[in-house]
């Protein structure tokens, strides 16, 4: 792929339709760029010399599972957006359009793998069995995390773009060392009959915008230098808030891997089957000690960047329409129906399950407890810290000054039960 | 007891941690075959191998960021930043990630990473090789910051930093790397708590608090003041975050006068924090305002004039004179 294939930034077409296509092409990368696709938008399954073998591992049950996950997470997204609109969440980061990229890749990971997300990976969280209501703690403003990554090997969301990418590489370097230590222990104790630990890899998610951050570059250098078992999963959803991906890169992002010396694959990010196949391949490649892989999932953020964003200010709705025609759920539904793998009853059930999840998430959000600021004092350091102790003591004394006195008790009590729970006046 | 330089003491401290715990590892630029630009890691690569003494790519954010990942996996990384002025590409990882991971996870994750930074001036070097950025880190909750001023502390502090469950930055006074002192590698003795200040010299008329590279200067100033008949107490702060205010307060109450000296610019520095706290805690015992001695509000100046920039014995004596004049 030489410079002659670089997407052009100059246009001379006059026909409006051509113009749109050309602009989309320039910004979105040329469709002529090699891109792994198995399931076409019309629901027909194509072949790929390498990845069809991986797709062949998928039976009807797994494919129905992919669809159910994608439908669930889309329903969850709608619910969280509504909760934000109703003032129940401070912000929401929608994922509609990216379901195949997330479910396809997340379902390719094994429990022993460790995942570092950015902040939009709700679908990946679902595949890692994170309680989705826990994801909302951060957006409701009751936690800066909200779940224990050790339970699911799904790390906390990171808001500083790309900051998690070196963490992923370091974690992968730790896996390498663990394997060496384990091998040494086995060698030293040949009689012991230990079950072999399953080989593990790390997968780290980031966006096309984040790919411009230095941390992504440094991470890739480290990963290549140490042959770390890490899969870089870039969801190229074409927009970094209002800035198109053409401002972040002049070549397909997957091509960058070549510069670091490891494989880079561009995959149709709206094709759950291809994403799954490519990610399985990449994770196996990493687990087997063959080093890092970069996957660029070519997809689209159909809605706003966040609930604070207004995409009408920076992009044409026609572009959205173009991408809606490539919807990841629609195409898998078409395939499942055409193959006789799922019927109306199945899709009705999926919808009912989605509504049930939404109701659960809504109720759980209302019930999320406001933490006591004392937990922040407790969690700033692991070990005792005199300044924290001193400030906490001051805070306790100060708060005690607001404790109810006999005169105050005649007043109506606070309507907010949280106030009573913390005993802290606000 | 063995006599060794501060650099050698840190080297021995690192050797002990690598020996004691297979999960410790060192990471940094040129720390392997070269032994670091200050040779602090000399010989460790040969002894422990490239998986434990890791020559990293030239990328500070990458060094700190991958160390965080290793710590999340249960390792104990000790990162070397080559020079103080080059920590800033890693500042983001230190302040937004390393410092906050434990709090962000509501206490479920720990990232016991150690970051070693040679700091301070007085070595006649060029731009970015002589800075004192400790206040920038001390302002960030979640980090601990210690700085040795002698070989015994240097040996123990690095070991204690590795054992600490919180992230610790060890600022190493580079112009004192070759300062020799007695080290007891069997027992830390009074250095058992790295976050406690030490009263190095007792006095009754005024207290000088210093840390790292300025400790020998403060002691020399106290000697000079003694010739003029003043009895000066000298405290080695040792820990910049947390600060052992109890030891400083007790001394200020005893002498009634306090001078704080550091190489970093006075404005917005650690000295201001100490002055404010002590004036709250010991206001009625103070005979004079707390006086700060530090660098000027300018980029670290060129080497040929750094003598005018760095607090020296005379600058501390001048401050003591002012304090004693109240
Ligand atoms: C270091 C940093 N700079 C700026 C921001 C503000 N910001 C939040 S999201 C975003 C765009 C990210 O785009 P991309 O990486 O493509 O991910 P996407 O949100 O599209 O999934 C920006 C600029 C940030 N979070 N972190």
Tell me the three-class secondary structure of A218-241, residue by residue: HHHHHHHHHCCCEEEEEEECCEEC
Spatial distance between the Cα atoms of A30 and A41, rounded to a whole number of angstroms: 17
| Low pLDDT (below 50) residues in chain B | none
Q: What DSSP string describes B81-92?
A: -SSGGG-GGGHH
The yes-or-no verdict on residue A419 having pLDDT over 70 is no
Q: Does the interface predicted TM-score (ipTM) exceed 0.90?
A: yes
Strands A202-207 vs A114-116: parallel, antiparallel or unpaired: parallel
A233 pocket-lining for ligand 1 (C-beta < 6 Å) = no
Which atom of ligand 1 is least distant from the CA of A162? 1
Distance (Å, whole) CA A201 – CA A280: 11
Give the closest of B25, B61, B144 to A214, CB-based.
B61
Q: Which of A193-197, A363-367, B143-147, B179-183 has the lowest mean pLDDT?
A: A193-197
| Distances in whole angstroms, Cα of residue A418 to Cα of each of A374, A405, A414 | 14, 19, 9
Q: Could you tell me which of B38, B33, B31 has the C-alpha nearest to residue B6?
A: B38
Half-sphere exposure (Cβ direction) of B199: Cα atoms closer than 13 Å: 18
List Cβ neighbours of B315 (8 Å cut-off, separation of 6 or more): B261, B293
Beta strands in A163-240 (DSSP E): 202-207, 230-236, 239-240
* Alpha carbons B191 and B107: distance in angstroms, whole number: 28
Give the pLDDT confidence score for residue A323 in this predicted structure.
Answer: 96
How many secondary structure helices (H) and strands (E) does chain B include? 12, 14
**Chain A nearest C-alpha distance from B3 (Å):** 32
User: C-alpha B26: how far from its chain's center?
Assistant: 19
pLDDT band for position A408 (cuts 50, 70, 90)? low
DSSP state of B38: T
Q: Which residue pairs, CB below 8 angstroms and at least 24 apart, start in B285-289?
A: B285/B252, B285/B253, B285/B256, B286/B252, B286/B256, B286/B257, B286/B258, B287/B256, B287/B257, B287/B323, B287/B326, B288/B256, B288/B257, B288/B258, B288/B322, B288/B323, B288/B324, B288/B325, B288/B326, B289/B323, B289/B326
Across the range A41-52, mean pLDDT stands at 96
Query: B58-114, pLDDT tens digit by residue?
Result: 999 999 999 999 999 999 999 999 999 999 999 999 999 999 999 999 999 999 999
Do residues B101 and B47 make contact, with C-beta atoms less than 8 angstroms apart? no
In whole angstroms, how far apart are CA B11 and each of A141, B152, B157, B173?
A: 45, 12, 12, 14
Query: For residues B130 and A150, what is the distance between their CA atoms, to the nearest angstrom?
Result: 41
Residue A26 scores a pLDDT above 90: no
Average pLDDT over residues A320-332: 97
**Against a cut of 0.90, is the pTM above it?**
yes
- pLDDT more than 70, % of chain A: 87
Nearest to A379 among B57, B89, B106 (CB): B106
Q: List CB contacts (< 8 A) between B115 and chain A.
A: none
Nearest residue (CA) to ligand 1, atom 4: A161
Q: What angle do CA A274, A276, A282 make, to 5 degrees?
A: 100
Q: Do B73 and A171 touch (CB under 8 A)?
A: yes
Contacts of A104 (CB under 8 A, 6+ apart): A66, A271, A272, A273, A274, A275, A276, A279
Give SS3 for B239: strand
Give the distance from residue B12's alpha carbon to the nearest chain A alpha carbon, in angstroms: 24
Q: How confident is the model at residue A187 (pLDDT cuts 50, 70, 90)?
A: confident
Closest by CA position to A137, among listed A124, A153, A125, A150: A125
Q: Which residues contact A289 (CB under 8 A, 6 or more apart)?
A: A227, A229
Counted across chains A and B, CB pairs separated by less than 8 A come out at 146
Is A361 a pocket residue for ligand 1 (Cβ < 6 Å)? Answer: no
Q: Which residues does A68 contact at the CB level (< 8 Å), separation at least 6?
A: A350, A353
CA angle B38, B39, B44 (to 5 degrees): 145
Question: CA of A202 to nearest chain B CA: how many angstroms apart?
Answer: 11
Confidence of residue A16 (pLDDT cuts 50, 70, 90): very low
Distance of CA B315 to the CA centre of its chain: 21
What does the pLDDT read at residue A415? 43
């Amino acid at each position: 792929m030489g410079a002659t294939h670089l997407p052009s930034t100059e246009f001379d077409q006059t026909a409006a339709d051509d113009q749109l296509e050309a602009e989309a092409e320039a910004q979105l990368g040329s469709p002529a760029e090699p891109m792994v696709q198995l399931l076409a938008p019309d629901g027909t399954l194509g072949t790929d010399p390498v990845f069809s073998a991986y797709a062949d591992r998928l039976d009807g049950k797994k494919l129905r599972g992919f669809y159910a996950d994608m439908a669930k997470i889309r329903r969850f997204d709608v619910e969280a957006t509504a909760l934000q609109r109703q003032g129940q969440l401070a912000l929401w980061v929608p994922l509609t359009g990216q379901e195949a990229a997330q479910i396809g890749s997340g379902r390719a990971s094994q429990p022993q793998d460790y995942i570092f997300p950015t902040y939009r990976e709700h679908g990946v969280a679902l595949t890692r069995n994170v309680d989705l209501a826990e994801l909302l703690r951060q957006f409701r403003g009751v936690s800066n995390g909200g779940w224990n990554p050790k339970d699911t090997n799904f790390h906390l969301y990171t808001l500083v773009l790309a900051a998690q990418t070196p963490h992923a590489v370091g974690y992968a370097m730790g896996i390498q060392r663990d394997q060496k230590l384990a091998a040494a222990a086995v060698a030293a104790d040949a009689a012991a009959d230990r079950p072999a630990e399953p080989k593990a890899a790390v997968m780290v998610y980031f966006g096309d915008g984040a790919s411009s951050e230095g941390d992504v570059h440094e991470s890739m250098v480290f990963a290549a230098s140490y042959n770390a078992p890490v899969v870089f999963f870039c969801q190229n959803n074409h927009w970094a808030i209002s800035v198109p991906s053409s401002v972040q890169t002049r070549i397909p992002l997957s091509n960058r891997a070549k510069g670091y010396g490891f494989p880079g694959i561009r995959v149709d990010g709206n094709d759950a089957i291809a994403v799954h196949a490519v990610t399985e391949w990449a994770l196996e490649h990493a687990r087997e000690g063959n080093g890092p892989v970069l996957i660029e999932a070519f997809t689209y953020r159909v809605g706003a960047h966040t609930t604070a964003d207004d995409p009408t200010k920076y992009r044409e709705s026609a572009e959205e329409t173009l991408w809606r025609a490539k919807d990841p759920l629609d195409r898998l539904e078409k395939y499942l129906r055409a193959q006789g793998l799922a019927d109306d009853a199945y899709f009705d059930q999926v919808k009912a399950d989605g509504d049930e999840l939404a109701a659960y998430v809504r109720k759980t959000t209302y019930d999320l407890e406001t933490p006591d600021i004392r937990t922040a004092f407790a969690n700033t350091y692991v070990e005792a810290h005199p300044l924290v102790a001193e400030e906490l003591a001051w805070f306790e004394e100060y708060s005690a000054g607001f404790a109810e006195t006999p005169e105050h008790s005649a007043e109506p009590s606070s309507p907010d039960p949280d106030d009573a729970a913390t005993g802290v006046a606000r | 007891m063995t006599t060794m330089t501060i650099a050698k003491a840190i080297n021995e401290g690192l050797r002990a941690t690598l020996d004691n715990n297979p999960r410790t590892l060192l990471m940094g630029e040129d720390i392997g075959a070269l032994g670091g630009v200050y040779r602090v890691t000399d010989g460790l690569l040969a002894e422990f191998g490239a998986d434990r003494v890791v020559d990293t790519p030239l990328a500070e954010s990458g060094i700190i960021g991958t160390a965080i990942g290793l710590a999340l996996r249960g390792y104990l990384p000790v990162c070397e930043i080559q020079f103080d002025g080059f920590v800033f590409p890693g500042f983001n990882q230190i302040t937004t990630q390393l410092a906050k991971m434990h709090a962000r996870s509501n206490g479920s994750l720990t990232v016991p990473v150690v970051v070693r930074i040679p700091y301070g001036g007085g070595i006649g070097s060029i731009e970015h090789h002589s800075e004192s950025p400790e206040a920038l880190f001390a302002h960030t909750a979640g980090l601990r910051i210690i700085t040795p001023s002698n070989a015994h502390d240097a040996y123990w502090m690095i070991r204690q930093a590795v054992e600490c469950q919180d992230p610790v930055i060890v600022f190493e006074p580079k112009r004192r790397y070759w300062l020799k002192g007695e080290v007891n590698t069997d027992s830390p003795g009074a250095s058992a708590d790295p976050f406690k200040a030490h009263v190095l010299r007792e006095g009754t008329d005024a207290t000088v608090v210093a840390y790292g590279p300025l400790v020998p200067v403060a002691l020399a100033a106290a000697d000079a003041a003694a010739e003029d008949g003043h009895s000066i107490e000298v405290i080695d702060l040792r820990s910049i975050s947390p600060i052992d205010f109890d030891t400083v307060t007790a001394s200020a109450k005893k002498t009634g006068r306090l001078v704080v000296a550091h190489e970093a610019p006075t404005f917005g520095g650690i000295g201001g924090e100490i002055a404010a706290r002590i004036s709250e805690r010991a206001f009625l015992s103070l005979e004079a305002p707390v006086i700060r001695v530090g660098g000027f509000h300018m980029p670290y100046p060129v080497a040929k004039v750094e003598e005018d920039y760095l607090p020296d014995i005379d600058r501390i004596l001048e401050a003591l004179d002012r304090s004693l004049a109240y």
